[in-house]
Amino acid sequence: MSPLRRRLFFGVPLAFAVAGGEGFYILLRRMQAQQYDPHALPSPLIGKRPPAFSLPGTAGMQGFANTDIAAPPKPMLVNWFASWCVPCAEEAAMLGKLAAGGLAIWGIAYEDNTQALKQFLAANGNPYQRIAADADGTTAINWGVYGVPETYFIDKSGIVRWRYAGALTDDVVASTLNPLLETYS
Amino acid sequence: MRRALFILALLPGLAVAQDMVTRDGVTLTQAQETRAETIGDQLRCLVCQNESIEDSNAKLAAQLRQIIRTQVVQGVPDESIMNYMVQRYGIFVLLKPPVSPLTWLLYAMPGLALLAGLAAFWFGRRKTGTAAPLNATEAARLEDLLRE
């Protein structure tokens, strides 16, 4: 075996192992920094308008239809949540902060009942301008919602630009939501 | 002829005896249920991502099973039911993703691995050739050793 060949025999597998290790390291680092969630799915709604729906209001709030979010005066969030959802309660403070900052947030209560919802809002605050009730989860399936909370960013032309599955955190707001608000307002 | 009449006479009974099953709130024939299961086996449950919709206990999976069965009873073709799911959840919902620019590397992997193995085998094989003949000194040394 020539020296070059011997070196290749040792070097090529080593290079693969090092590249693989580096890849995993980057992956785990990004997961730790919450920049990458292996369970998150890209939403097919991105770049499109939400499918047609018309949902009644709940907990004393006005409901809404897809036509109501077809051309909002400013970019807005549609937040899917439920009173029975633990991360939704954790997220409430962040939504309250965003609403106080002037961002319009409309909620859709996923498979919920009015009484439990009223208690949830009383306990965690109400950042929503409107709350629609998707009692049987049909609209959620049409949106491709696969859990609560999920947050959709809708621009001024009514097009979905971003979907986030899970509770909004400071990191997510700083790294993704704020740049989106700058781009689309 | 008699036999044919006999079978004919049995047919209505068969239709009645064809057992209906109820699954996830939809009543359908056994054949329809089998079709629905085949479709559901190919779809990923979005909640517990390594299970199929058929296997999963998640509520969303039950709702999707119900949608599949309702559409099967309505006679919607398999492909349209698959499209219904992909439109909502993306190609991730398919347990067997289609070949696309995004997945070609995945599907090419076995072939690439085979090629890499063949290359390693080819370049790694030992050179076998005839050894150089011994010179006089070496021959004498060998004689000595053999004699000992």
**CATH code for the domain of B26:** 1.10.8.640
Lowest mean pLDDT among A157-161, A166-170, B74-78, B98-102: B98-102
User: Please, which pLDDT band fits residue B125 given cuts at 50, 70 and 90?
Assistant: confident
Three-state DSSP class for residue A45: coil
State the SS3 of chain B.
CHHHHHHHHHHHHHHHHCCEEEECCEEEEHHHHHHHHHHHHCEECCCCCCCECCCCCCHHHHHHHHHHHHHHHCCCCHHHHHHHHHHHHCHHHECCCCCCCCCHHHHHHHHHHHHHHHHHHHHHCCCCCCCCCCCHHHHHHHHHHHHC
Query: Is residue A150 within 8 Å of A45, Cβ to Cβ?
Result: no
User: Please, which pLDDT band fits residue A36 given cuts at 50, 70 and 90?
Assistant: confident
**Helices B59-73 + B30-41 axis angle, to 10:** 130
Residue B15 has pLDDT above 70, yes or no: no
Residue B2: inside a domain: no
Q: Walk across the sheet containing A104-110 and list its strands.
A: A130-134, A104-110, A76-81, A150-154, A160-165
Higher pLDDT, B16 or B69: B69
Probe site for chain B from A16, A39, A53, A146 (most B CB atoms < 10 A): A146
Please state, in angstroms and rounded to a whole number, the distance separating the CA atoms of residues B66 and A137: 12
To the nearest whole Å, the CA of B141 is away from the closest chain A CA by 28
User: How large is the average pLDDT for residues A162-178?
Assistant: 92
Tokens 């301008």 correspond to A129
- Structure pTM? 0.79
User: How large is the average pLDDT for residues B48-72?
Assistant: 93
User: Please, which pLDDT band fits residue B10 given cuts at 50, 70 and 90?
Assistant: low
| Domain boundaries of chain A, sorted by first residue | 1-36, 54-184
pLDDT of B11 reads: 54
- What are the φ and ψ backbone dihedral angles of A135, each rounded to 5 degrees? -65, -40
Query: Is residue A132 within 8 Å of A66, Cβ to Cβ?
Result: no
Residue B54: inside a domain: yes
To 5 degrees, how large is the angle CA A119–CA A133–CA B66?
Answer: 120
pLDDT of B148 reads: 78
pLDDT of B9 reads: 57
Query: Is residue A53 within 8 Å of A136, Cβ to Cβ?
Result: no
Residues 32-51 of A with CB under 8 A from B: 39, 41-44
Residue B98: inside a domain: yes
Residue B137: inside a domain: no
Please state, in angstroms and rounded to a whole number, the distance separating the CA atoms of residues A75 and A162: 11
User: How large is the average pLDDT for residues A23-51?
Assistant: 88
Residue B56 has pLDDT above 80, yes or no: yes
pLDDT of A37 reads: 79
Please state, in angstroms and rounded to a whole number, the distance separating the CA atoms of residues A112 and A94: 21
Number of domains chain B contains: 1
Please state, in angstroms and rounded to a whole number, the distance separating the CA atoms of residues A66 and A76: 13
Please state, in angstroms and rounded to a whole number, the distance separating the CA atoms of residues A69 and A129: 12
Query: Which residues of A fall within a CB distance of 8 Å from B126?
Result: 1
Element (H, E) at A51: none
- Supply B116's token pair: 């890499």
Residue B7: inside a domain: no
pLDDT of A92 reads: 96
Q: Which CATH class is domain A54-184?
A: alpha beta
To 5 degrees, how large is the angle CA A159–CA A46–CA A109?
Answer: 80
Cβ within 8 Å, pair B46-A42: no
Lowest mean pLDDT among A142-151, A167-176, B89-98, B129-138: B129-138
Query: Which residues of A fall within a CB distance of 8 Å from B127?
Result: 1
pLDDT of B124 reads: 76
User: Please, which pLDDT band fits residue A8 given cuts at 50, 70 and 90?
Assistant: confident
Tokens 């001024």 correspond to A156
Domain range for B86? 14-120
Query: Is residue A45 within 8 Å of A144, Cβ to Cβ?
Result: yes
Partner-chain residue, chosen from B49, B87, B127, that has the shortest CB–CB distance to A44 = B87
Residue B48 has pLDDT above 60, yes or no: yes
Query: Is residue A60 within 8 Å of A126, Cβ to Cβ?
Result: no
Partner-chain residue, chosen from B60, B87, B126, that has the shortest CB–CB distance to A146 = B60
